């Protein structure tokens, strides 16, 4: 059953400082972005700071390219950071690999105060203890290394060693999570986890602790797969006598089958940039992401400003949520249609270029065509598809498939002829001016508008779907309409 998470009641005097701390793995995970979004919204809502920190202590995976992908993803989404890479800040550097001295310093403090110790145990020793455990208990899981160095001080610091935390073995360590409420872990489950490894770099829990502490983070947000790490970090705050930050853990984003969303999830893009390249708008992705796991009554559609105003932690649910492409498409389509035409014209240009259509973003024909076409589009790619025929040379306009081609046949030639005649005679060339003559002719001949419209539509667009016929004729223009109708007429007469 759901328990109501406590409300955020930190003193308003204390500023909000939140951070997003991805590790550079080659792409920015869309689920991670939801965490970033909630944090960002919280910071913006309270006029606090949003810090971007790169957790790159896993040297094997971290590359500059991977960092660039993170920054580009965040920029595209519009989640701007107040401190972090490129913008700097009072707590620089913001790359963990550049903060090595700081970790060493805090490790020394912990050793000096008796909360941590140097451990010279070798991998072989640990392995031997592990094997003994497995044989003794008959199980492989739950092994906890008990270092012989926990209470010794006679090692040689010049020899390779790690630094371990002297974890308490009795009692419990708990906190009040902004999403999950009261959570506690028994200390006996803890082992003397490593703070600093042999190569001098900190392990996740220690790096995270030192950075969050020294960067003055007031609220730590992350995926609920980190729930189990929280006690370790809490112990560290307690050990140095520092005030603990608040924590908010977010449920996972799952794929359609209910598994944690990953690059292997079928049919779903996990990388943020997949959505940029797929023609989605940040507003659509962010709105969908916000609602996935957070709710505000019955409301579904939000602008970014509304999200900032309405977001709160008590609206965040505790259950993992599945990624629903259809619903994303719905929300995205709404945001696409909400954009003004000039903006969309600018945004769609690259997608048109990708299709070989070069047109200026402020081209009047482009801007004028946006309104009717965006009603029929979900993404910028759809928009580009729907705009494409307007800018192609007349000679390139041809039925896009068999279904379209079937509308151009001898039987429909008379319709094309009639419309061609009207097109030639109409001036000014507007949808209103064209509608009258064509509609009255259709009526007089006792035809159905559909019978006439489809062949004409295919003639001037090559497609069976487009905005209203008269509107489309106007958009295509008089000259091009004539050329395309003549061309289609030939096709129709030549067809079987």
Partner RNA sequence: GGCCCCAUCGUCUAGCGGUUAGGACACCGGCCUCUCACGCCGGUAACAGGGGUUCGAGUCCCCUUGGGGUCACCA
Residues with a known catalytic role = 263
The phi, psi pair for 393, rounded to 5°, reads -60, 145
Quick check: 91 and 215 in contact, CB under 8 A?
Answer: yes
Q: Which is nearer to RNA, 46 or 118 (CB)?
A: 118
How big is the CA angle at 285 (ends 1 and 221), to the nearest 5 degrees?
50
Q: Which is nearer to RNA, 189 or 417 (CB)?
A: 189
Smallest gap from Cβ 46 to RNA, in A, equals: 21
Q: What is the full DSSP assignment across 87-112? A: TB-TT---BGGG-HHHHHHHHHHHHH
**Which SS3 state, helix, strand or coil, does residue 248 take?**
strand
Smallest gap from Cβ 338 to RNA, in A, equals: 10
Burial 112-133 (b: 16+ CB within 10 A, else e): eeebbbbbbbeeeeeeebeeeb
Q: What is the full DSSP assignment across 163-223? A: EEE----SSEEEEEETTTEEEEEEGGG----EEE-TTSPBPHHHHHHHHHHHTT-SEEEEE
Smallest gap from Cβ 122 to RNA, in A, equals: 6
Tokens of 469: 């016929």
The phi, psi pair for 221, rounded to 5°, reads -115, 145
**Which SS3 state, helix, strand or coil, does residue 307 take?**
helix
Cα 283 from chain centroid (whole Å): 10
Closest CA to 386 of 358, 348, 350: 348
Smallest gap from Cβ 181 to RNA, in A, equals: 6
Q: What is the full DSSP assignment across 28-57? A: -BHHHHHHHHHHHHHHHHHT-EEEE-B---
Q: Which is nearer to RNA, 319 or 353 (CB)?
A: 319
Rounded to whole angstroms, how far apart are CA atoms 14 and 344?
Answer: 41
Q: How many CA atoms lie within 13 A of 374 on its CB side?
A: 25
Smallest gap from Cβ 311 to RNA, in A, equals: 13
Q: Which is nearer to RNA, 15 or 437 (CB)?
A: 437
DSSP state of 4: P
What residues form DSSP beta bridges with 185?
173
Q: Which is nearer to RNA, 48 or 54 (CB)?
A: 54
Rounded to whole angstroms, how far apart are CA atoms 255 and 305?
Answer: 28
Q: Which is nearer to RNA, 48 or 162 (CB)?
A: 162
Cis link prior to 22 (omega < 30° from 0)? no
Q: Which is nearer to RNA, 251 or 399 (CB)?
A: 251
């Amino acid at each position: 059953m759901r328990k109501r998470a406590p409300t955020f009641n930190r003193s308003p005097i204390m500023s909000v400082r939140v951070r997003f701390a991805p590790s550079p793995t080659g792409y920015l995970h869309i689920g991670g972005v939801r965490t970033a979004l909630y944090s960002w919204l919280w910071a913006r809502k309270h006029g606090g700071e949003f810090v971007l920190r790169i957790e790159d202590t896993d040297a094997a995976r971290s590359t500059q390219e991977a960092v660039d992908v993170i920054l580009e993803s965040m920029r595209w989404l519009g989640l701007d950071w107040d401190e972090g890479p490129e913008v700097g800040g009072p707590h620089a550097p913001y790359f963990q690999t550049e903060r090595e001295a700081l970790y060493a310093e805090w490790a020394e403090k912990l050793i000096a105060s008796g909360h941590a110790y140097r451990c010279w145990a070798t991998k072989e020793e640990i392995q031997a203890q592990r094997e003994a455990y497995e044989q003794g208990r008959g199980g492989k899981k739950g092994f906890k290394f008990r270092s012989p160095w926990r209470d010794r001080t006679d090692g040689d610091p010049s020899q390779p060693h790690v630094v371990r935390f002297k974890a308490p073995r009795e009692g419990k360590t708990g906190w009040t999570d902004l999403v999950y409420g009261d959570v506690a872990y028994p200390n006996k489950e803890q082992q003397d986890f490593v703070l600093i490894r042999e190569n001098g770099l900190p392990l996740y829990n220690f790096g995270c602790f030192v950075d969050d502490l020294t960067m003055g983070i007031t609220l730590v947000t992350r995926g609920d797969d980190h729930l189990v790490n929280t006690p370790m970090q809490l112990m560290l705050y307690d050990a140095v006598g520092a005030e603990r930050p608040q924590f908010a853990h977010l449920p996972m984003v799952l794929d359609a089958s209910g598994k944690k969303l990953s690059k292997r999830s079928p049919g779903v893009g996990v990388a943020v940039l997949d959505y940029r390249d797929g023609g989605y708008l940040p507003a659509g992705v962010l709105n969908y992401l916000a609602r996935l796991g957070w709710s505000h009554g019955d409301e579904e559609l939000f602008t970014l400003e509304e999200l900032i105003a309405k977001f709160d932690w008590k609206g965040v649910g505790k259950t993992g949520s599945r990624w629903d492409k259809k619903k994303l498409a719905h929300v995205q389509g709404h945001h696409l249609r909400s954009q003004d035409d000039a903006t969309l014209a600018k945004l769609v240009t690259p997608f048109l270029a990708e299709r070989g259509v070069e047109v200026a973003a402020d081209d009047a024909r482009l801007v004028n065509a946006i309104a009717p076409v965006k009603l029929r589009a979900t993404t910028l790619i759809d928009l580009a598809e729907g705009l494409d025929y307007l800018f192609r040379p007349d000679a390139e306009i041809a039925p896009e498939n068999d279904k379209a081609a079937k509308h151009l046949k001898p039987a429909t030639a008379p319709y094309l002829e009639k419309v061609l005649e009207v097109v030639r005679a109409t001036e000014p060339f507007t949808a209103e001016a064209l509608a009258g003559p064509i509609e009255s002719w259709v009526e007089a001949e006792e035809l159905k508008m559909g019978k006439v419209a489809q062949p004409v539509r295919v003639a001037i667009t090559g497609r069976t779907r487009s905005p209203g016929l008269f509107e489309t004729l106007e958009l295509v223009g008089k000259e091009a309409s004539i050329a395309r109708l003549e061309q289609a007429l030939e096709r129709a007469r030549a067809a079987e």
